[in-house]
Amino acid sequence: MKSKIELFVIDRVRKLRYEEKMSQAKLADLLGVTKAFVGNVENENREEKYNLNHINELAVIFNCSVKSFFPDEPFDDNREQPVSDENL
């Protein structure tokens, strides 16, 4: 399962792709990956995701800052749950 931050990045890329009326195939070609990779990244049930090199290249493709792909505030979905009396 993809984390909140991964889903945020994926949604941001998808939004930019839609705004540019760009197909997954065209983005894949510009990014130097397969169309299947882009499709799998955009599928929540698949493990594929963009790495930092992809994000840097996406910033070049969409003519924006790499910061554009990240939220202003961090997500806390990786924080451990506190121990409760019920779990002792």
Please state the length of the chain.
88
Structure tokens at 64: 């924006």
pLDDT, position 82: 39
The CATH number given to whatever domain includes residue 13 is: 1.10.260.40
For residue 86, tell me if it sits in a domain. no
Domains identified in the chain, total number: 1
pLDDT, position 84: 44
For residue 43, tell me if it sits in a domain. yes
For tokens 């594929």, name the residue. 48
For residue 59, tell me if it sits in a domain. yes
For residue 8, tell me if it sits in a domain. yes
11-16-30 Cα angle (round to 5): 105
For residue 78, tell me if it sits in a domain. no
Structure tokens at 47: 């493990």
pLDDT, position 78: 59
pLDDT, position 21: 98
For residue 82, tell me if it sits in a domain. no
Residue 46 belongs to what domain range? 4-68
Name the CA radius of gyration of the chain, rounded: 16
Q: What's the rounded Cα separation, in Å, for the pair 81 and 69? A: 28
For residue 30, tell me if it sits in a domain. yes
pLDDT, position 45: 93
- What is the block-wise mean pLDDT of the chain (88 residues), using blocks of 10 residues? 93 98 98 98 96 99 98 76 44
